Homo-oligomer: A and B are copies of this chain.
């Protein structure tokens, strides 16, 4: 049972921006389950808890003397551990990895008790039951981060902590979708987000994308021409989108395109879930090794201006539910993130947490608050994020360098869905300078993933056995199995289809594969590219021979 002495302290809400419009009422979007959810009696009681002079013997709180942890400490890397330019050293990309020395770092030290009335954190308080909105200083912090980075275009937005974007999304699904509803997703989409909604009987509606993300005209086309009868289910009311470092494609949706998508969603009354864990890993265009120069050190202001804005910047109605996570910027094991959304939706999302996760873990709330508020401060966090972007940019560069070294490449300006991007077409070195392009990709501009295409056109149809599934019955699946035989695991495209039964691309013509460059060493990336070319050579040779 959750009880909290903070209950009467009210909510952390936006105090500024009062000239901006207020959120519109979107309560008609709530699911039956969410509408039926009443505030719990326990929480109704909590509003009394802070009344001056009231003696409370109400809550089932264990006494803090019975918490065995009397202190919590952690050594912290300096905020400027990593160079803020990609040319900086990335020790762990080297075969002999060197861990950065934490000698100059700071130390977090949290006691059990703090003086009465102090705003400092003490475990007696942070390890107790708490409101689902979490520690008050953390509430203020995430609110401040949303204002600073994302600048919602309405005044009364709420922020609310959750236990990571996976749980955050599960809560949104149950708050907004009824069984049999539908969901707009990108043509290639984050598979786990889809799998969260599928058991509810939710129908996926995949929106075509190009190399710059979801295509606004395609979105409009789907919504404008919607016919319940021909589709067999109602028009979607919710869009799930992963706009930066898109998983699996690695593209970055520009502010301009986000604005276009947003306006269509206003017109058709669609709620947007912006799942954006890779937001600060906006790595920018890939520059080939030989043309790369050491970029100048950026100011915090330059860094922030260099980031494509969030959907929130255009959200004048409160119809975006943005999800941020500390998983990629600090550590996944924290299981801590937050929503930024309209107050009505936030209230429903909070009610759901009260009777499930209750609140994110007290240790994570304590450490993150101490780190970002009392150790680094927000300027330090921005500096950390600059270094983090440089780290992942260096990783992206290392992988693209490795793959470009392994094949013969021609680079062309993209056409059609690739317009505005450089497309890399690779042929096997053993096929000489005029070999056929078997593989192609566009270097990712953010995130952790490179999306690779293998061109099977011209090969005879795959040899399949009756009953073989999508994972084994196509060239895409059979080439994946070949890579596994060679000792390489990257993820096959079929896992990421927005509509699993309707492949946007024939997997016998083009196979798609997601490569992660986030945690390998440079050596491993080189080795992976060698295994890839070896598998390609043998697969094409044998498949051609069989025909």
Contact = CB atoms under 8 A, between A and B. Distances in A.
Given A36-B201, A72-B74, A361-B364, A58 B355 contact: no
A294 interface: no
B41 A200 contact: no
B355 A54 contact: no
A245 to B, nearest CB: 9
A196 to B, nearest CB: 4
Contacts of A54: 484, 487-489
A201 B67 CA distance: 38
A55 B484 CA distance: 9
Interface string A78-113: 000110000000011000010110100100000011
A266 interface: no
Contact of A495 (B41, B61, B65): B41
Contacts of A384: 68
Given A361-B335, A487-B55, A100 B65 contact: yes
Contact of A333 (B37, B126, B190): B126
A76 B67 CA distance: 9
Contacts of A357: 163-164, 166-167, 335, 357
A523 to B, nearest CB: 10
Given A56-B489, A68-B77, 10 more contacts: A45-B489, A58-B491, A60-B449, A62-B332, A127-B334, A333-B361, A333-B362, A357-B357, A361-B361, A363-B364
Interface of A: 1-2, 33-34, 36-38, 40-42, 45, 48-49, 53-77, 81-82, 91-92, 97, 99-100, 102, 105, 112-113, 123, 126-130, 163-164, 166-167, 170-171, 190-192, 195-196, 198-201, 247, 327-328, 330-336, 355-367, 371, 384, 388, 391, 395, 448-449, 484, 487-491, 495, 514-520, 524-525, 527-528, 531
